[in-house]
Every structure is written in structure tokens, then in C-alpha cells.
Structure 1
Amino acid sequence: MTDEEIIALAPGEHPPVPGAVKVASTNYEGARHSTRTKARKQALDVLFQAELRDESVDAVLRRRAQQGEPDVREYAAAILHGYWDHASQIDQRIAECMSGDWTLERMPRVDRNLARIAMWELDFTDIAPKVAISEALGLADELSSDESVAFLNGVLNKALETRPARRQ
């Protein structure tokens, strides 16, 4: 790792997947996000709402439009529809990358949806894997619990190792 420091696991703390490490987090206060990062955050918000309300992505987007919210960014729409088109396959891949007693349902909602976005980027786009993983970890560090970064890092790195061959 270049800019991050590996932190020892606390007594009794177990990695979510074998080989996962804990890294020092970065303070993102005052950070400016790229257009794609903003789109990922917007997609996360819509996926979170859809799951919370047990609605389709399209239903959430329609309601947001009726409430006068701005349209989602182009890349956010690509993420949302990309995930929705491959939801069962993506969720299965995430579940296969977790170890022990962890299940997709047990994951915090923010982490689960960040994993979905990153998995879609890993398996269905030409986004560089390091970028997809780094973006998910950065948003987890900013928006989720202290343990989320290490957990997602382990899950997404296993996903990268077991990624199916890309279709041409």
C-alpha cells in the first residue's frame, strides 16, 4: 500500500474474509469529489431508498422527479440500470465473496449498496478495478461505519480475484 497504513486487528476482531487488512482511513472533510464520485453517491442514495421502501429503481426515480428533485447524473443512471438489470447475479457474487457467517442481508444497507455499485463496475464495465474498489472504500469511509472499509476491501478484493472472464 502506498499512502495508507495497515492497522493491526484489535483483540478478538476477525477479518470478514481471509487476508483482509484494516487500513488507516483518510479524512475526507472538505474534499471535493469528482463527477463520477458524485454520480456514485447519487446512485447509492437511490439504491438505498429503493431497498428501504421495497421499490424498483424506476419507482424511486419517478417519485424523485415528482418531488422536483433534479434528474440523476448520466453515470448514476447507468449504475442504477446496470445493477437493476443484473441484480441477482451481482448479489450472488457478493454473497460468494463473503466468508464465515456473513450474508448479504446481514451487511449494513450502505455497505451492501456500495458493494453492488462496485461489483457492477468490476464485472460489467471497463472501469479500472482499482478505481472501482477505491471509490467504494472512499465512500464507505465517508458514509458508513469504522469497520466498513476493511470489510468491503476484503469482499471486493476477493471479487476481483474471482472475477469471471470479460466478454468481448
Structure 2
Amino acid sequence: MKRRISRENAFIAAFEESFDASSMSEIIHYSRETQEYAVDEFGETMLRNLLAHREEADKIIEPNLKDWKLNRLPRVCRIVLELAVTEMMYGEEGTSIVINEAVEITKKFASDEDYQFVNGVLGAIARAHFPEEQGDSTCTRSE
């Protein structure tokens, strides 16, 4: 499965989980069983990182919102931001790839102008927290 599809399916699972419908494990299991937006191993890793580090990600996101509060963001934007920040922190891709993928997911699932907001917030976070990767899209990190 392509990583973009994997990220989209992880986003859909996280979005579903945000409504407290089921546990993340149940959502992942159901997605695989039905093959509807199936969460693969890469997506599952993203979701486990999100669940384990959401609070930490939120603390990074909130100061970069400029006149917004995290709990007032559209649900799609919040989840895209949380997934992207946890991937920046614990994933293997460079920040520019993560930001690009987050913007594409936002374009697909959010309102027309939301992708610009997501891009701006993630860009500010990347510059502040991952300065070693600015200008080098090949840099990766393993934690």
C-alpha cells in the first residue's frame, strides 16, 4: 500500500476514534476485516504513536495556532495536525514529506482553505522543533 493511502486510512481511523465510537484496536481490526480503508502496519504505527503521544503533540501544536485554541479547531484539522506532529517526532520521513502529505489529506477531507492553515502551523512547528531538517528533505529520523 502506498504511504499516502496508508496515511489517509490512518487519518480516517483517528477521525472515527475521535467520536469515541470504538477503541482504536477495534477500528483497526474492523478496517482490516472489511478491507474498507484498511489500516496497514505503517498506519497502525502512526496511530499507536498518536495515542501514546497525543498530549505531547498538542503541547507543540497549541502555541503555533495564532489566535486559535486546539479545542476550537475543526476536527479534521486537529487530527491532521496531531498525526503529522507525531509522525515528525517519531516517524522516519523528513518534515517536508510529512507536511506535504498532511496538506494533501487536508485538501481531500477539510474545507477549501484549511490546507493553508495546516501548512502554516506545520511549517512553524518544523522550523521551531526540527531546524536541522530545514532545506534538507532527505533527512530522516528514527526514534
**Shorter-chain-normalised TM-score: which range?**
0.7 to 0.9
Counterpart residue type for residue 8 of structure 2 = K
- Aligned counterpart, 1:39: 6
Q: In the alignment, which of 121, 124, 130 is matched to residue 87 of structure 2?
A: 121
CA root-mean-square deviation: 2.2
Cα distance change, pair 103–139 in 1 and its aligned pair in 2 (3 A): same
Structure 2 gaps of 5+ residues are: 132-140
- Aligned counterpart, 2:127: 161
Cα distance change, pair 141–130 in 1 and its aligned pair in 2 (3 A): same
Counterpart residue type for residue 96 of structure 1 = P
- Aligned counterpart, 1:108: 74
Q: In the alignment, which of 42, 64, 69 is matched to residue 34 of structure 2?
A: 69
Q: Rg larger in 1 or in 2?
A: 1
CA distance in 2, matches of 1:36, 1:146: 23
Please give the TM-score of this superposition, normalised by the length of structure 1: 0.70
* Aligned partner of residue 60 in structure 1, secondary structure: helix
Please give the TM-score of this superposition, normalised by the length of structure 2: 0.81
Please tell me whether the aligned partners of residues 91 and 116 of structure 1 are also in contact (alpha carbons under 8 angstroms).
yes
- Aligned counterpart, 2:134: none
- Aligned counterpart, 1:136: 102
- Aligned counterpart, 1:49: 16
Cα distance change, pair 74–90 in 1 and its aligned pair in 2 (3 A): same
1:91-106 paired onto structure 2 within 5 Å: 91-100=58-67, 102-106=68-72
Cα distance change, pair 86–44 in 1 and its aligned pair in 2 (3 A): same
Q: CA deviation at 1:61?
A: 2.6
CA distance in 2, matches of 1:143, 1:87: 21
- Aligned counterpart, 2:138: none
Q: Per-residue CA shift, 1:80-116, capped at 9, x if unaligned?
A: 001111111011111122111x111111111111111
* Aligned partner of residue 99 in structure 1, secondary structure: coil
Cα distance change, pair 164–89 in 1 and its aligned pair in 2 (3 A): farther
What is the aligned residue count? Answer: 132
Q: Per-residue CA shift, 1:60-88, capped at 9, x if unaligned?
A: 334556xx423521111010001111111
Structure having the larger proportion of residues in helix: 2
Q: Per-residue CA shift, 1:35-80, capped at 9, x if unaligned?
A: 1000111101110011012654224334556xx4235211110100
Structure 1 gaps of 5+ residues are: 1-33
CA distance in 1, matches of 2:142, 2:43: 23
* Aligned partner of residue 162 in structure 1, secondary structure: helix
Identity rate of aligned residues, in percent? Answer: 24
